[in-house]
Amino acid sequence: MLFCIYFQIPPFPVLEQPLSCFIQVLINSFKSPGAVQNYAHGLQTVCKFLNQPCPDLSQFLFAYLFKGSSRVLQHMPNRAQPLTPLILTQLFYLIDHTDSYFAAWWAALTTGFFSFARISNLLPRSHNTKHPIQHLLRSNIQVHPQCTIINFTHSKTNQNGDRVLAIPLSPISSVICPVWALNNMFSINVAPTWAPAFSFTHNNILLTLTQHSFISMLRQLLSLLNLDPAQFSGHSMRRGGATHAFDSGVPAEMIQVHGDWRSDSYLTYLHLSDIQRLQVTSLMGQNIIS
């Protein structure tokens, strides 16, 4: 609308020539070619709601505009660095595990790492955005003698909530054991079953660990380890857990199911070291007959 007002163009119906100019303005305004396409397709969706005609964005002109935007706006997204077992072990010794807040924070961190969970499924954005379907509740965590099961009822690939993704967590002989962390949180932070999974008490008031608070504390602690906190985010748990599973020899199909990836996109989450990548040509060389 601002584009049309500035250039004194009627916003509807959307015509081919003004739309191509609008896309060029977007290319000059954004850093990501994906954002350009999102805006253009968003306008197409608006036209459908208003029963207004809109040029076909798949036709030659627009297809080449989008292709040109990808070349002009060569964009490499910043990827969060993966957390590793070593980093987690170092973090373990930095916090007080008898503290209500840190008990919940540590349980969320280890659960996210070993379940490959998206942070949006673990924690709400704020205290006022609790969603009983999208976010974990205490009732979604089942403690059994041999394992603890995390039941995710909503995810990026399950937005309708028509299935439950049950992720079992096995106890491990390590300070970063997720089962120990969850049991520790349960013993310190008593909460009803309908409460968010990672709740804690402050001045006898039950509060919820939020994404902002979690990531802020993670970065503060990482800075104490002389690591660049800007390189890490909530996604570092998911990427770090998948990478460690791969390094540990977990079959690819099990990584895919455990992390609820529907496609091979999980492969982009794996962080391969230069030594691991060097094995490609080394193994190829072993099968060459001189």
pLDDT < 70 positions in the chain? 75-78, 128-134, 155-162, 263-290
**115-132 tens-digit pLDDT:** 989 898 899 887 766 565
CA pair distance 120, 2, nearest whole angstrom:
33
Q: Is the peptide bond before 13 cis (omega within 30 degrees of 0)?
A: yes
Residue 264: per-residue pLDDT: 64
Structure pTM?
0.72
Q: What is the pLDDT of residue 55?
A: 92
**In this predicted structure, what is the pLDDT of residue 213?**
95
Could you give the domains of the chain? 2-72 (no CATH), 85-269 (1.10.443.10)
CA 132 to chain centre: 19
